[in-house]
Amino acid sequence: MLGAGSFGTCLAMLCAGVHDVVLWARDPAVSRAINQDRRNPRYLTDFELPQRVRATSDLKEAVAGQPLVICSVPSHGVREVAAAAAAHFAPGAILVSTVKGIETETGLTMHQVLEEVLRGERAPRLVCLSGPSFAREIAAGKPTVVTVAAKDEADAKQVQKALSCPTLRCYSNPDMVGVELGGALKNVIAIAVGISDGLELGANARAALMTRGLAEITRLGVRLGASPLTFLGLAGVGDLILTCTGDLSRNRTVGLELGRGRKLVDILAGMKEVAEGVRTTRASCTLAGRVGIEMPIAFMVREVLDDVLEPRDAVARLMTRELKSEAS
C-alpha cells in the first residue's frame, strides 16, 4: 500500500481483514508511530489499525514481492513515487491507482502517468479504482460501492475479487479513461457547488451545477475517448453526488469557504489533507482548451481560485451566458 493518507490508511485497514498489509508512509515518523501505537498520527487518528498492517518508509520493502500494490498518494506525487518504486515490482504484479487527479503539467490521468513511468518487463499491470468512497466511512465499516477499471478485464476482475468484502463491493469496468476522469473532475464541480452553498444560493442552484457539471465532465471525457455511459455510473454521477453533498468532502469545503469570503491560500493552509480539485481545476481547463471543449463551470471555478473573479461575479457570468440547447 503506497500512501498513508486517509484513503491509503482506510484501505490498509480493510485489506488487513484478509491479508497481511505493508503500508508505505513517506515520513519515517508516521511509519514508526503506526507500528508502535497502531494508529496513524495524522489521518483517521481515532481508528486503531489491525495487527496485520505493518508500516514502512522503505519503498522496496513495501513493494518487493507483492502481487498487488495499491497507490494512494496525492496526484502530484504519483510520478515521483512510481519512478522510485519501478525497479522493485514483482513480475506480473498488479498496481491499483486510487488517485483522483490529473497531472497539471501534462494533462494525463494517473494511469497514463503510470504507463509513462513504468515500462519494460517489470512493468505492473495497471488497474484504477474510483467511486463514491469517503475514507472515514470505509474505515468505520460502512457499506461502500466502487468500480475498478482495467484494459484487461481479467485484471479488473482479479482486483474486484481481492478487495470485495461485506463492507466494500467492487464492480468492474473496461473504461479506464472514463473512470479516472469521472473521479478527478467531480472534484472541480464540488468546489463550484461549495461556492454556491457558501453564498447560500439554494437547492435549485446546487442541482443545476451538479447536472450541468456532469454534462461538462461527459463532454471532455467523450472527447478523450471515454464511454458516456461511464459517467452515469459509480465513478461519474455516483461520486459526483457524494462529493458535492457530503460534509466530509474536502473539495466542497474549499468551495464553501470561498463562497463565505475566505481566500484560497488561507483555506488550504488550514487543511491537513489535499483538496485535489484545486490542481485538477487548472489541469482540466488547460486540457479542455487543448482539445476544444467548453467547460464554463470549470473555467469560472478557476477564475475564483486564481482570485480573478469574486464568487458572486462568477455566478452572474454563468447565469448570463449565451442561451443554448441543453444538448449542446
For the annotated catalytic residues, the residue numbers are 186
Task: Note whether 96 and 102 are within 8 A (CB).
Answer: no
Closest CA to 70 of 135, 121, 119, 116: 135
Task: Tell me how long the chain is.
Answer: 328
CA atoms within 13 A on the CB side of 116: 13
Q: How many of the other CB atoms lie within 10 Å of CB of 239? A: 27
SS3 string, the chain, reads CECCCHHHHHHHHHHCCCCCEEEECCCHHHHHHHHHHCCCCCCCCCCCCCCCEEEECCHHHHHCCCCEEEECCCHHHHHHHHHHHHHHCCCCCEEEECCCCECCCCCCEHHHHHHHHCCCCCCCEEEEEECCCCHHHHHCCCCEEEEEECCCHHHHHHHHHHHCECCEEEEEECCHHHHHHHHHHHHHHHHHHHHHHHCCCCHHHHHHHHHHHHHHHHHHHHHCCCCHHHHHCHHHHHHHHHHHHCCCCHHHHHHHHHHCCCCHHHHHHCCCCCCHHHHHHHHHHHHHHHHCCCCHHHHHHHHHHCCCCCHHHHHHHHHCCCCCCCCC
Could you tell me if 124 and 143 are in contact, meaning their C-beta atoms sit under 8 angstroms apart? no
Query: Which triple of cell numbers denotes residue 114?
Result: 503510470
